[in-house]
Amino acid sequence: MTDAQWLLIGTLAFGAYSIRFLGLVSGQLISEHKHLNKFLADLPGCLIVALIAASLAGENSITWIAAAITLAIALITNHVVMTMAFGFITIFTLNHYFTYLVSG
């Protein structure tokens, strides 16, 4: 390997470990603040809602109906695996049912 390649590898390694170290230090500092800690506790749920909303933005009405049914199941059961299973069953059933209705 050339010196330029070794320099590139070293620079990337330093950058990768610097990002990890800064994440560790900043995570410890943030967890000491009560208000920021409360905000970070709500962050995963906000990210999931944002991902789901973005994926539903361009979908048809069947997918929206399936999402509403799946949301109801999630609120009733509060069980992630069951919600995923019923969500899959719901979208499959609705797609099959409406395809059957359209084809006659």
CA distance 81 to 61: 24
Instruction: Tell me the pLDDT of the chain averaged across its residues.
Output: 89
Paired tokens of 100: 């059957």
User: How many other CB atoms sit within 10 Å of the CB of residue 28?
Assistant: 9
pLDDT in tens, 12-22: 999 999 999 99
Q: Which residues contact 90 (CB under 8 A, 6 or more apart)?
A: 66, 69, 70, 73
pLDDT in tens, 78-95: 999 999 999 999 999 999
What confidence tier does 104 reach under pLDDT thresholds 50, 70, 90? low
Global pTM reads: 0.58
CA distance 20 to 14: 10
Q: Residue holding tokens 């999630």?
A: 74
Look at residue 70 in the predicted model and tell me its pLDDT.
93
